[in-house]
């Protein structure tokens, strides 16, 4: 098996539909010798903010001298990004070796694992083989039935926040989605709840009480922004002064405060992390495709805002940086999202909108999305290809001296970055 064959095996489309549950992952992990049982985890669930939180926390833990595994989804440019140790993605060689090992057992299963279950087993094996001290483990979808939830006892469970997303799978109310996310809460394991929704908070607290799990809360009203530009942000939070982060967007200081709170909890439970290590780890943290500056002339920002809450956060960030000035927007969306509401929020900051169709079977056609913007009174252009949409948006942004914000599915990121480098 070579690298290409390993990816083809992992992405095998015949495994894309299975009954939800943890049985397949448990069976596969058992055949592999339960690699997850040799590891410590910080388990992270939530509608938005999981990736940024996990990246910042893993950077701090690495700075503190720990060997840190990081498991995230989806990948941005290359599959190997899904699992990394101390910031370095798994090598092609090791991915092939471990995939061959996992395949031997997966192929014997009557009820075949899904792609995400297979990848999770590969990640557990990778982290265990390399003897990670701690793994920051991001849920893929939901929590209760997410394959990452086969772990027994994490050192900390984190729920970054909850809003309506993936409603067809997780439920059509915040309370139902909160119930799914709360499924990661384990007996006597501390929980960090970072959300704002009171209905969701009630569900989380009830679940934690049943599990005798202490709950911690960040205090977002104690965040003081001292400087915010396209070069980064400086903030104070409680006893932390002049904290610097490179991650852009008005929501990143909140993610930073959540990380600082998580570090305090970890220190209460046996981890040793100094103040300088915290500061340096946060300063070095990187997370692509989340309000990331990808060009200076013209100014182009990409933000993987793919649901209503994400779009709200992006719009807020644009207003923070540009005030009442309008910008150009390049956007594409999945047809199963509340795209009419998302378009209405985008219109608050958009001068012109350039619509594309993301490379995904669930994508909403660009012309359909453009009609939504036009119905809201906004000039909108649709293109037949992603390449054409990007070139059109860049050309107009340069000509008119406008900043361009690329908002929507993470599936857009790779092609947008590729095309912008050509422009």
Alpha-carbon gap, residue 64 to 71, rounded angstroms: 19
What 3-state DSSP class applies to 70?
strand
pLDDT of residue 420: 82
Q: Which CATH superfamily is domain 3-284 in?
A: Mur-like, catalytic domain (3.40.1190.10)
Question: What pLDDT is stored for residue 74 in this prediction?
Answer: 85
CATH class label, 292-422: alpha beta
* 84-96: burial string, b at 16+ Cβ within 10 Å, e else: bbbeebbebebbb
Kindly give the pairing relationship between strand 292-296 and strand 299-303: antiparallel
Delimiting residues of CATH 3.40.1190.10 domain(s) in the chain: 3-284
Identify the pLDDT of residue 171. Answer: 46
* pLDDT, position 161: 87
Q: CA-to-CA distance for 255 and 50, rounded, in angstroms?
A: 9
DSSP 27: H
241 in helix, strand or coil?
strand
- The torsion defined by the Cα of 357, 118, 50 and 346, in degrees rounded to 10, comes to 10
Q: Over the stretch 220-242, which tens digit does the pLDDT of each residue have?
A: 999 999 999 999 999 999 999 99
Other CB atoms within 10 A of residue 26 CB = 15
User: Other CB atoms closer than 10 Å to residue 272's CB: what's the count?
Assistant: 10
Residue 334 is predicted with a pLDDT of 85
- Pairing between β-strand 68-71 and β-strand 134-138 as defined by DSSP bridges: parallel
DSSP string, 79-123: GGGGEEETTEEPPHHHHHHHHHHHHHHHTT-SSPPPHHHHHHHHH
Write down the pLDDT at residue 169: 43
Asked if 289 and 304 count as a contact pair (C-beta separation under 8 A), the reply is: yes
What is the C-alpha radius of gyration for the chain, rounded to an integer number of angstroms? Answer: 21
CA atoms of 131 and 110, how far apart (whole Å): 31
- The pTM for the full model equals 0.90
How far are the Cα atoms of 34, 70, 117, 290, 379 from residue 184, in angstroms, in the given order?
19, 17, 16, 25, 44
Q: What pLDDT shows up at residue 293?
A: 93
Question: How far is C-alpha 49 from the chain's CA centre?
Answer: 6
Residue by residue, pLDDT tens for the chain (423 residues) are 999 999 999 998 554 456 788 999 999 999 999 999 999 999 999 988 899 999 999 999 999 999 999 999 888 889 999 999 999 999 999 999 999 999 999 999 999 999 999 999 999 999 999 999 999 999 987 789 999 999 998 999 999 988 654 444 444 588 888 999 999 999 999 999 999 989 999 999 999 999 999 999 999 999 999 999 999 999 999 999 999 999 999 889 999 999 999 999 999 999 999 999 999 999 999 999 889 999 998 999 999 887 888 899 899 999 999 999 999 999 998 888 889 999 999 999 999 999 999 877 888 999 999 999 999 999 999 998 888 999 999 999 999 999 999 998 777 888 888 888 877
pLDDT (0 to 100) of residue 126: 98
Q: What is the pLDDT of residue 415?
A: 84
Instruction: Tell me the three state secondary structure of residue 197.
Output: coil
- Cα 213 from Cα 342, distance rounded (Å): 36
Query: Residues near 92 by Cβ (< 8 Å), separated by ≥ 6?
Result: 3, 80
Q: Which residues on adjacent β-strands are paired with residue 89? A: 84
Q: Rounded to an integer, what distance in angstroms lies between the CA atom of residue 22 and that of residue 40? A: 19
Tokens of 106: 């997966």
Question: d(Cα 264, Cα 256) in Å, to the nearest integer?
Answer: 13
**pLDDT tens digits for range 251-284:** 899 999 999 999 999 999 999 999 999 999 999 9
Considering the chain, tell me which residue range(s) the CATH 3.90.190.20 domain(s) occupy. 292-422
């Amino acid at each position: 098996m070579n690298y290409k064959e390993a990816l083809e095996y992992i992405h095998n489309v015949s495994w894309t539909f299975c009954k939800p549950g943890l049985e397949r992952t448990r069976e596969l992990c058992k055949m592999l010798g339960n690699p997850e049982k040799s590891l410590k985890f910080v388990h992270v669930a939530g509608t938005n903010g999981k990736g940024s939180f996990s990246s910042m926390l893993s950077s701090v833990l690495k700075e503190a001298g720990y060997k840190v595994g990081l498991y995230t989804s989806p990948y941005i440019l290359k599959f190997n990004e899904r699992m990394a140790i101390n910031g370095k993605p798994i090598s092609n060689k090791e991915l092939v070796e471990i995939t061959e090992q996992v395949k031997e057992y997966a192929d014997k299963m009557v009820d075949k694992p899904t792609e995400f279950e297979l990848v999770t087993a590969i990640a557990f094996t990778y982290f265990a083989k390399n003897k990670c001290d701690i793994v920051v483990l991001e849920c893929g979808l939901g929590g209760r039935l997410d394959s990452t939830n086969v772990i027994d006892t994490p050192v900390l469970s984190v729920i970054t926040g909850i809003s309506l997303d993936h409603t067809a799978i997780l439920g059509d109310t915040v309370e139902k989605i909160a119930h799914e996310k709360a499924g990661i809460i384990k007996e006597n394991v501390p929980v960090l709840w970072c959300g704002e929704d009171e209905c969701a908070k009630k569900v989380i607290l009830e679940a934690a009480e049943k599990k005798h799990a202490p709950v911690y809360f960040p205090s977002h009203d104690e965040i003081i922004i001292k400087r915010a530009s396209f070069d980064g942000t400086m903030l104070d939070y409680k006893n932390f002064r002049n904290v610097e982060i490179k991650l852009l967007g008005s929501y990143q200081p909140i993610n930073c405060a959540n990380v600082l709170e998580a570090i305090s909890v970890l220190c209460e439970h046996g981890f040793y992390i100094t103040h300088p290590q915290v500061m340096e780890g946060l300063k070095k943290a990187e997370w692509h495709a989340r309000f990331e500056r990808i060009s200076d002339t013209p100014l182009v920002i990409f933000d993987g805002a793919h649901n209503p809450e994400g779009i709200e956060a992006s719009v807020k960030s644009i207003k923070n940086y540009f005030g009442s000035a309008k910008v150009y927007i390049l956007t594409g969306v999945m047809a199963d999202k509340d795209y009419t509401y998302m378009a209405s929020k985008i219109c608050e900051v958009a001068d012109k909108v350039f619509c594309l169709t993301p490379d995904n079977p669930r994508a909403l056609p660009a012309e359909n999305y453009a009609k939504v913007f036009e119905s809201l009174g906004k000039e909108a252009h649709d293109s037949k290809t992603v390449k054409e949409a990007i070139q059109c948006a860049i050309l107009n942004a340069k000509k008119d001296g406008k900043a361009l914000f690329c908002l929507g599915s993470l599936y857009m990121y790779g092609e947008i970055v590729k095309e912008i480098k050509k422009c």
